[in-house]
Structure 1
Amino acid sequence: MKTLDKQSVLIELQYLPSIEFFSCLQSFSEIIIESNENYVKQSYRNRCYILGSNKTEMLVVPVIDGNKKILIKDIRIDYSQRWDVNHWRTMSAAYGKSPFYEFYSDYFKDIYHKKHSFLWDLNFEILTMCLKLLRVNKTIRQTQSYEKEVNSTVFDARNLINPKNETIHSQFYQPSPYQQNFGNEFVPNLSIIDLLFCRGNQASEILKKSKPI
């Protein structure tokens, strides 16, 4: 990954982002969030993966009019499906007995209790909270307009991290195994909450080890 001459990374907001997402951010001093794109369905913008007792589980935030051409900041969350209750119940079942669940769970619970109307607001608060818990200090700003091409000091990572890409081919992430809750085989690139709940204050060090050389 040719990032040595890049100071900033341009990337989209994601829901409970993957370890690959945070591994990518490590190489840059500034994070530029793409705030003027149109919503893209079936992406990490409204979904994440966690490890349950039987298998990897996908959590999806339902949105209203996701099939239409709508600016990402204008996408509303559909609460008719009680997704927030289901997500929290699923996360609690998966991580309730994790070593660091009691230390971090309230931070996330407080975010869900706010019942954000817009997906953007939910994802942005989750991102800033995760960076704080990981003790990652980065400058964050949002785009002022959508630009297909970016200047030479910015690495364009938009849409490079998505569920369709295999982790083994990632330019941002080299899995560094850690003890997970279930099974003997390590499952890479889950949501950052898997790393936080399982490894706590060691999460930032594991992230550093997950960065490709």
Structure 2
Amino acid sequence: MKALISLTAFPNLSHYSIYSNFNEVEIEAQGTYQKQTFRNRYDIFGPNGKLPLTIPVIYSSKNKQLYRDVKISNVEKWQSQHLKSLMTAYNSSPFFEYYIDDLMPLFNTTYNFLFEYNLICNETLNACVQIDKDLELTTQFKNQNGATFDFRNLAKLKTVIPYNFKSYTQMFCVKHGFLPNLSILDLLFNEGPNTLNYLEQQTIKTE
């Protein structure tokens, strides 16, 4: 089975269930950039509940711009801010120290383009999760009926997620309850080597 997705930053569990449950995953690399999506945002579980982290970009909605051409605004020290937030949220989690060294280059290396950064993030995270899968990029934009299973809408912030995620132990769940579909980082830091097994148990609706 083959799936088509949009590339997002530190993907949430709905995206990662696609990676783990489809034989082939193709990434839309020719579409235009859209605001209000997970392309430059990801959610983690902080001490006060869900915490959205945003990668600042240089983008104007007046001119349609290809996603691949959108630049990151590195004037702000966003990488150090994100790392600080992750340490506050997960420093005491069971597997934070196990994975953080592999993830550090994503927070101390400067990247100019959002698509390039997200692609490297996905490749790094796949290695951590132990998903051995090449990420195939599209060479032309595909219409809605152009893919076997089209999950590009999962990149939108307000998309209704077609999964019923089984709860797992999260750092602040006693105070705030279980928060589903956060960034893969939440699952990875809390479940470690069991991450892939958890993802493979998700039932995906393809209709």
Q: Tell me whether the two structures share a fold, i.e. TM-score over 0.5.
A: yes
Alignment RMSD, CA only? 1.6
Alpha-carbon distance change, 55 to 149 in structure 1, aligned in 2, over 3 angstroms: closer
The answer (yes or no) to whether the contact 1:35–1:142 under 8 Å persists in 2 is yes
Q: Residue type of the partner of 1:190?
A: L
Q: Residue type of the partner of 2:11?
A: P
From 23, 36, 43, the counterpart of 1:49: 43
Partner Cα separation in structure 2 for residue 82 and residue 139 of structure 1? 31
Correspondence list, 1:1-213, <5 A: 7-67=1-61, 68-151=63-146, 154-167=148-161, 170=162, 173-184=163-174, 185-212=177-204
The answer (yes or no) to whether the contact 2:187–2:195 under 8 Å persists in 1 is yes
TM-score by length of 1: 0.89
For residues 73-122 of structure 1, the C-alpha deviation after alignment (integer angstroms, 9 at most, x for no partner) is 11000011211111111011101111100011112211222211000111
SS in 2 for 1:10: strand
Partner Cα separation in structure 2 for residue 178 and residue 149 of structure 1? 34
Moved runs in structure 1, 4+ residues, more than 6 A? none
Q: Residue type of the partner of 1:160?
A: L
- How big is the shift at 1:174? 2.4
Structure 1 unaligned residues grouped into runs of 5+: 1-6
TM-score by length of 2: 0.91
For residues 148-206 of structure 1, the C-alpha deviation after alignment (integer angstroms, 9 at most, x for no partner) is 24446x21111234320233xx1xx3201111001322111100000000110111111
Structure having the higher helix fraction is: 2
The answer (yes or no) to whether the contact 1:100–1:199 under 8 Å persists in 2 is yes
Partner Cα separation in structure 1 for residue 56 and residue 201 of structure 2? 34
**Percent identical residues:** 31
Partner Cα separation in structure 2 for residue 123 and residue 109 of structure 1? 14
SS in 1 for 2:142: coil
